[in-house]
């Protein structure tokens, strides 16, 4: 059956990898480990016509289709069991227009690849905190990273996209052409088609003041870190990872396993002002490690170990504030499990991201103040039964009333949580657009928005 799928596939300019190929296991692997899904074929597409051919084949054969850019889906959506994987990783063309401050980027690029190339011109577009994440997935879900307060979400810099829809047609999508689709792909994920290229706005970034600051994580320190992040100029975006100190070479051995704030700071707006903005964070407590310094923006993405495939689970949410009792809850919960890695990640939002009207894009959490991700990593997939409930309990204990969720950090949590990513009228609007562009729900291996039924159409 599997071999016949590779034979039945239409001829492509790219490559087809089947179960009998030597690279099959490497090609089906995703960032997260712990799953063993065996696709019938992986198609490494070379161009938009290839994408169209694969989509048409999947539609006509009825086979499940996984669409993959960087392979970092936390819900296991980047690989199908028995279906086809449309893998964009060989599509990495990047055209930078320095004068206009724009770039056309193919969606097989990773955040780090794009960022390093743009930095050669002193320019940047904001993605997330990890260089190996694909620009495909992060952009379509929103994109919250080191420039979020200064320049907004990744989608706030998205000017246009080339998208192949379920009928195999390649569409240029922007504010004037197919504006409904342009609205939907800015937050609605991979529900509407396969994006082959994005056109982004670039910003002058160049030298930043940034890096990692590790502090002992008392409840007071956590509170201060968040209060300082909220009060900081918008040029500064921070991420506080509250977790046991990892046994990394730059962490003193006597600190390994102790609860710390693994803080990431990034100031984009001049070195002197940046030094002034980060200085108060150093007074929260005596830093255990201080790597915050002037550097080029791509240094926020250190090299990664390609053989690292963590197994874990997480819950994402938004909260309004971190007071003493919230900080106490964080410290208590992180002390109440023996998960190999356990973390509460806190990201203060606001700034440019919050100035975009809520209804302007399909990412509807513009007014949320702080994003929190609770996560546990463990050794074997079956330990989900032990650590999953801890993660859920931790998230429940932190809840403050905001029912929203950020789609890109959802794991495989069921339809209600996908709805939480698209509150109010956002959901209805997305479902109606889905019905127009993907009425049979071909693109369903994702945080799925089923097409609106005809009865619910205006
Ligand atoms: C270590 C790590 C760090 C992260 N940090 C951040 C962060 O700081 N900020 C943030 O916002 N997010 C972050 N994320 C979440 C990340 O944005 C999502 O997991 C995202 O979906 C990954 O994109 P990808 O292309 O690598 O993944 P994939 O698994 O390749 O894609 C995920 C899904 O996106 C869709 N998709 C991807 N590419 C396309 C395309 N070209 N066309 C149509 N659909 C497509 C598909 O539905 C696919 O299932 C992080 C994830 C990880 C694992």
Ligand 1 center from residue 382 Cα (angstroms): 24
Give the position, in ligand 1's atom list, of the atom nearest the Cα of 190: 44
Q: Judge if pTM exceeds 0.85.
A: yes
Give the position, in ligand 1's atom list, of the atom nearest the Cα of 409: 15
Edge to edge, the sheet with strand 41-44 lists: 15-17, 41-44, 84-87, 65-68
Residue 4: its pLDDT value, please?
A: 80
**What is the rounded CA–CA span in Å between residue 448 and residue 328?**
36
Give the position, in ligand 1's atom list, of the atom nearest the Cα of 135: 25
Series of mean pLDDT values for 10-residue runs along the chain (458 residues): 79 97 97 96 98 98 98 97 98 98 98 98 98 98 98 98 98 98 98 98 97 98 98 98 96 96 98 98 98 98 95 98 98 96 98 98 98 97 96 98 97 97 97 98 98 68
Please choose from 133, 173, 304, 447 the residue to mutate so as to test ligand 1's pocket, defined by most ligand atoms within 8 A of CB.
133
Residue 160: its pLDDT value, please?
A: 99
Residue 173: its pLDDT value, please?
A: 98
3-state SS record for 302-365: CCCCCCCCCEEEEEEEEECCCCHHHHHHHHHHHCCCCCCEEEEEEEECCCHHHHCCHHHCCCCC
Beta pairing partners, 104: 95, 199
With a CB cutoff of 8 Å and minimum separation 6, the contacts of 419 are 427
What φ, ψ does residue 447 adopt, rounded to 5°? -75, 95
Ligand 1 center from residue 198 Cα (angstroms): 15
Give the position, in ligand 1's atom list, of the atom nearest the Cα of 191: 47
Residue 458: its pLDDT value, please?
A: 42
Ligand 1 center from residue 409 Cα (angstroms): 9
What φ, ψ does residue 450 adopt, rounded to 5°? -65, 150
Residue 455: its pLDDT value, please?
A: 53
Ligand 1 center from residue 31 Cα (angstroms): 10
Ligand 1 center from residue 68 Cα (angstroms): 9
Q: How many CA atoms lie within 13 A of 335 on its CB side?
A: 12
Give the position, in ligand 1's atom list, of the atom nearest the Cα of 239: 8
Q: Whose CA is nearest to atom 34 of ligand 1?
A: 137
Ligand 1 center from residue 388 Cα (angstroms): 21
Measuring from each residue's beta carbon to the nearest atom of ligand 1, which residues come in under 6 Å? 31, 67-74, 77-78, 88, 107, 128-130, 133-134, 136-138, 140-145, 189-190, 194-195, 408-409, 446
Give the position, in ligand 1's atom list, of the atom nearest the Cα of 132: 26
Calculate the CA 399 to chain-centre distance. Answer: 22
| Residue 447 DSSP one-character state | S
Q: Whose CA is nearest to atom 21 of ligand 1?
A: 137
- Output the CA torsion sign for 71, 77, 80, 81: positive
Ligand 1 center from residue 63 Cα (angstroms): 22
The candidate with the shortest Cα–Cα distance to 83, out of 109, 115, 59, is 59
Q: How would you class 292 by CB atoms within 10 Å of its CB: exposed for 0-12, middle for 13-18, buried for 19 or more?
A: buried
Ligand 1 center from residue 127 Cα (angstroms): 10
The candidate with the shortest Cα–Cα distance to 193, out of 405, 452, 449, 395, is 449
The answer to whether 452 and 429 have CB atoms below 8 angstroms apart is no
Give the position, in ligand 1's atom list, of the atom nearest the Cα of 196: 41
Please choose from 39, 58, 73 the residue to mutate so as to test ligand 1's pocket, defined by most ligand atoms within 8 A of CB.
73
Ligand 1 center from residue 314 Cα (angstroms): 15
Return the structure tokens found at 354: 């919050």
Please choose from 44, 65, 72 the residue to mutate so as to test ligand 1's pocket, defined by most ligand atoms within 8 A of CB.
72
**Residue whose entry in the numeric block shows the structure tokens 């971190």:** 322
């Amino acid at each position: 059956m599997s071999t016949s799928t590779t034979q039945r596939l239409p001829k492509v300019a790219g490559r087809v990898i089947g179960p009998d190929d030597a690279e099959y296991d490497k090609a089906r692997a995703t960032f997260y480990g712990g799953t063993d899904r065996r696709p019938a074929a992986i198609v490494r597409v070379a161009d938009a016509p290839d994408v169209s051919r694969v989509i048409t084949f999947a539609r006509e054969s009825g086979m499940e289709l996984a669409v993959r850019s960087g392979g970092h889906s936390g819900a296991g959506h980047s690989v199908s069991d028995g279906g086809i994987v449309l893998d964009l990783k060989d599509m990495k063309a990047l055209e930078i227009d320095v004068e206009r401050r724009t770039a056309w980027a193919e969606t097989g690029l990773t955040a780090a690849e794009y960022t390093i190339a743009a930095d050669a011109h002193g320019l940047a577009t904001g993605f997330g905190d990890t260089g190996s994440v694909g620009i495909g997935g992060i952009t379509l879900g929103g994109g919250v990273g080191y420039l979020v307060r200064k320049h907004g979400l990744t989608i706030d810099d998205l000017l246009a996209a080339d998208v192949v829809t379920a009928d195999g047609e390649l569409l240029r999508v922007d504010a004037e052409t197919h504006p409904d689709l342009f609205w939907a792909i800015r937050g609605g994920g991979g529900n509407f088609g396969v994006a082959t290229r994005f056109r982004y706005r670039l910003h002058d970034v160049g030298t930043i003041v940034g890096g990692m600051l590790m502090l002992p994580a008392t409840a007071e320190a956590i509170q201060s870190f968040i209060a300082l992040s909220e009060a900081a100029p918008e040029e500064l975006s921070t991420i506080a990872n509250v977790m046991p100190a990892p046994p990394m070479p730059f962490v003193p051995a006597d600190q390994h396993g102790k609860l710390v704030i693994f803080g990431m700071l990034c100031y984009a707006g001049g070195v002197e002002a940046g030094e002034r903005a980060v200085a108060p964070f150093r007074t929260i407590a005596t830093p255990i490690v201080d790597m915050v310094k002037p550097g080029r923006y791509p240094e926020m993405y250190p090299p990664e170990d390609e053989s690292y495939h963590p197994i874990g689970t997480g819950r994402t949410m938004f909260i309004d504030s971190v007071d003493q009792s919230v900080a106490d809850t964080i410290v208590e919960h992180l002390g109440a499990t023996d998960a190999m890695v356990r973390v509460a990640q806190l990201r203060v939002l606001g700034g440019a991201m919050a100035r975009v009207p809520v209804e302007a894009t399909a990412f509807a959490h513009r007014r949320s103040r702080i994003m929190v991700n609770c996560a546990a990593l463990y050794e074997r997939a079956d330990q989900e039964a032990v650590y999953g409930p801890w993660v859920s309990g931790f998230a429940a204990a932190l809840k403050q009333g905001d029912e929203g969720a950020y789609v890109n950090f959802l794991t495989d949590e069921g339809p209600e949580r996908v709805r939480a990513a698209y509150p109010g009228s956002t959901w209805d609007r997305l479902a109606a657009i889905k019905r127009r562009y993907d009425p049979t729900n071909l693109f369903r291996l994702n945080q799925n928005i089923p097409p609106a039924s005809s009865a619910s159409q205006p």
